[in-house]
Amino acid sequence: MDLAQPERSVVPSLDGPVLAVLARTTAPLAGREVARLVGVGSRAGVQRVLTRLAREGVVHAERRSNAVHYSANRDHLAWPAVEILAHLRAELLRRLTTHVDAWSVPAQTAAVFGSLARGEGGTDSDIDLLLVRPDLDAEQSRTWEAQVDALVTAVEAWTGNRAQPYDVSLQDLRAHVAADEPIVQSWRREAITLVGRDVSALLRSVPRRPTASGHPPTSSGV
């Protein structure tokens, strides 16, 4: 799945991005504004798509001053399918949340980061997952590993993209934060929390630097 424009997985032409732009607003937009928001293809190409969609009744076209403005025709029989395509990213986040929230061994925190969180990437992009596990005994560890494996399989079935879980214990997380590793900065900037403690709050509770002994300090806040 194209993580930046998921609708292109089903509608690879400019039609998909154009419809996605119109699905996300109720305000009529001039053709040039639609082209700017689409961000791919040429302005002429976007205009051809808008003209054809208006002819088929999927969008409304209204002349205002010296420009034609376009808006979604949500009464059109095809529009429910457009809505599904336009909100594939939100549906993926919902499925991830539902899946992880049902785990028998709960995650301390589960989040997405990387391309999916930024709304970037393409069909070859990994779906990066931060999974923070609590302290586990041997049996819980086996269950946890099975849960993560099932999540990886589900994500690949849902999207066609490879899932990349970053599976860490609380102790691992403290060590990463104490070392101020680059991936921690990525989590701080862009992570979207799915379940459990909010990533930003979790990271704020962990000291960034090791103690004088050279070992990462513990934090009662985690």
Which residue ranges does the chain devote to CATH 3.30.460.10? 87-204
Q: What is the pLDDT of residue 13?
A: 83
The count of C-alpha atoms lying within 13 angstroms of the C-alpha of 23, restricted to the half-sphere facing its C-beta, is 20
CA–CA dist 184, 41 (Å, integer): 35
What is the length of the chain? 222
Burial 211-221 (b: 16+ CB within 10 A, else e): eeeeebeebee
CA–CA dist 208, 144 (Å, integer): 27
Which residue ranges does the chain devote to CATH 1.10.10.10? 6-85
CB 116 within 8 A of CB 92: yes
Amino acid type, 35 = A
3-state secondary structure of 75: coil
Q: For the whole prediction, is pTM greater than 0.95?
A: no
Q: What is the pLDDT of residue 207?
A: 67
Q: What is the pLDDT of residue 208?
A: 61
What token pair was written down for 10?
């089903």
Q: Is pLDDT at 102 greater than 70 in this prediction?
A: yes
**Domain 87-204 has what CATH class?**
alpha beta
Tens digits of residue pLDDT in 161-210: 999 999 999 999 999 998 889 999 999 999 999 999 999 999 988 766 55
Provide mean pLDDT across the span 123-131: 94
Q: Is pLDDT at 109 greater than 80 in this prediction?
A: yes
Of the listed ranges 4-13, 134-143, 197-206, the least confidently predicted one is 4-13
Burial 181-204 (b: 16+ CB within 10 A, else e): eeebebbeebbebbbbbebeebbe
Q: What is the pLDDT of residue 216?
A: 45
Q: Are strands 127-133 and 109-113 parallel, antiparallel or unpaired?
A: antiparallel
Topology (CATH) of 6-85: Arc Repressor Mutant, subunit A (1.10.10)
